[in-house]
Structure 1
Amino acid sequence: MSRKTIVKVEGAGMSFDTKKGKFVALRNIDLNIAEGEFVSLIGHSGCGKSTLLNLIAGLTLPTSGSLICDGREIAGPGPERAVVFQNHSLLPWLTCFENVLLAVERVFGKKEGRGKLKARAEAALDMVHMSHALQKYPHEISGGMKQRVGIARAFAMEPKILLMDEPFGALDALTRASLQDELNGVMEKTGATVVMVTHDVDEAVLLSDRIVMMTNGPAATIGEILDVKLARPRDRLALAHDRDFVDCRAALLEFLYQKQVKKAA
């Protein structure tokens, strides 16, 4: 059964005025994202991955084309779209619990009591295995733990779409792998729609249903879209020797390091 389209990008383009004139970051972006789908955006630096994510988030508005979320034009940020950045963006004067509770209050505060709001925040932190750190401040926990809290905060808002901009990029390899597995588990529980910017080929294949490969900038656009037809739940150790995983990885590497590098040369 086909799933409902929740994000529709139609002919979107983005340009910026600079001292040297107009800089075209994106052109002719057409993309449909279905409910419950995990889509990764991948490409070389300067290919407009984060710009496209920001357009979906409503943090910037396109200079051409349109973006629709759940039947409405995206005209700015909204609680149905939560963003997780590489920098966790936790408020340092609030505890982990208070950071999550603040987001919960913004979304549900007008219609739910204090007890229900606290329960939401605690449940979100428990989902990412951070219940032991409820009363700790950001400076008292590791980088990986901070990112867990950031993810908990985003999921606690119950967004229709979770937007992630290289959320694990600043972490060491083992912590990164642990959080990737964590995110896979959370996805199984919530069925959320996710759009993630990454530069990591293995991460993209491990997590995604589809991978959007961007051409080199300036004036970047979608080069190819790869369907990742790997059964869920996914086990990274089993996938290391899976033929389909290896083929998807090879297709990404070919696009990034042959097709795009040749064009750049």
Structure 2
Amino acid sequence: MSTLHLDRYLLIQGVQQTFKTKKGPFVALKDIELTVKKGEFITLIGHSGCGKSTLLNLIAGLTMPTEGRLICAGREIAGPGPSRAVVFQNHSLLPWLTCFDNVYLGVERVFAESESKKQLQERTAEVMALVGLSHAQHKLPHEVSGGMKQRVGIARALAMEPQVLLLDEPFGALDALTRANLQDELMRIMAAKQSTAVMVTHDVDEAVLLSDRIVMMTNGPAAKIGEIVSVALDRPRDRVALANSVQYQEYRTEVIDFLYRKQGNPALKAA
């Protein structure tokens, strides 16, 4: 792959998204320009209603932009596909299948024509081990914890070997300790796979801990990219050590300043 494609692995050019409503056109996103390098971890952060998930859906190909275009690895995004795998806040596992079979289902859809059943099973087992679930692979979803369900969702996405991993607040419904453990696991997995990722979050600390860059969205409607913070913290990152890091606190303050001083709380403004 050319250096150009590595530096502009995911390219979002002049994207606008308008929805038809009973009250007329609603412009959710306007003039979105963003370039993501291969191997980068990008987070999208902003107040509710600023279009973070809308932008993620556009990258996933679940919706098409009203204007502009999105390009992944040199190809224009024209719909959903295995090159972009999504991990949602709701794990979306099939309850009648084991954790292993939930992952295998995704693997089979992507690689069935090129690999034997044994190879598909080995691929599934490998990614289950990567997320630390070898011991629970034969359990049903209702037999494992919420955090383990999310690991299965991450495993299913990674097993498809996507060019870009998309995460829509995957830890939002979890307790603080489980969330912290999965954040650490995600950092380890992303380092091992050298994956490119775009993640939606409302959590400032999560954004600073995980990101190479934090993309901060302005309030909607017609939300835009307001500012981008480059997080130059060494990897691997240790959350305990970072708690006393002046640099970490500066990044955190910069994001909070944008969200609450420059943007304010849209709910309070509406009231």
The 5 A counterparts of 1:75-224 are: 75-224=78-227
Q: Deviations over 1:5-30 (max 9, x none)?
A: 11100010001001111111000000
TM-score (norm 1): 0.98
> 2:47–2:265: 8 Å Cα contact kept in structure 1?
no
Q: CA deviation at 1:214?
A: 0.1
SS at match of 2:81: coil
Partner of 2:44: 41
Q: Distance in 1 between matches of 2:117 and 2:68?
A: 42
Shift in Å, 1:93 = 1.0
For residues 100 and 194 of structure 1, what CA distance do their matches in structure 2 show? 19
CA distance in 2, matches of 1:203, 1:210: 12
Residue identity opposite 1:127 in structure 2 = L
**SS state of the match for residue 102, structure 1?**
helix
TM-superposed CA distance for 1:4, in Å, is 2.5
| TM-score, reference length from structure 2 | 0.96
| Alpha-carbon distance in structure 2 between the residues aligned to 1:227 and 1:126 | 32
> How far 1:262 sits from its partner (Å)?
7.5
Which residue in 2 is equivalent to 1:239?
242
Alpha-carbon separation, structure 2, partners of 1:217 and 1:262 = 11
- The amino acid of 1:236's aligned partner reads R
C-alpha displacement at 1:87, in angstroms?
0.3
**3-state SS of 1:99 partner:** helix
Instruction: Find 1:50's aligned residue among 39, 48, 53.
Output: 53
Q: Counterpart amino acid of 2:175?
A: D
Shift of 1:244: 1.1
Secondary structure of the corresponding residue to residue 9 of structure 2:
strand
Determine whether 1:257 maps to 2:254. no
Report the Cα distance in structure 1 between the residues aligned to 2:65 and 2:27, rounded to whole angstroms: 11
Distance 1:142 1:126 in 2: 17
Cα separation, 2, equivalents of 1:120 and 1:182: 19
Shift, 1:72, TM fit: 1.1
Amino acid at match of 1:223: G
How much has 1:243 moved relative to structure 2?
Answer: 1.3
Root mean square deviation, CA, Å: 1.3
SS at 2:69's partner residue?
strand
Flag structure 2 segments of 5+ consecutive residues without an equivalent. Answer: none
CA spacing shift, 1:262–1:199, aligned 2, 3 Å: closer
Percent sequence identity over aligned pairs: 65
Ranges in structure 1 where 5+ consecutive residues have no aligned partner: none
1:31 matched to 2:8: no
Q: Tell me, in whole angstroms, the C-alpha distance in 1 between the residues paired with 2:227 and 2:170.
A: 23
Q: Distance in 2 between matches of 1:245 and 1:123?
A: 34
Measured against aligned partners, the alpha-carbon deviations of 1:92-125 in whole angstroms (never above 9, x if no partner) come to 1110000000111111110101111001111111
Structure 1: which amino acid aligns with 2:151? Answer: R
Aligned residues: 265
Which residue, 8, 13, 17 being the options, matches 1:10?
13
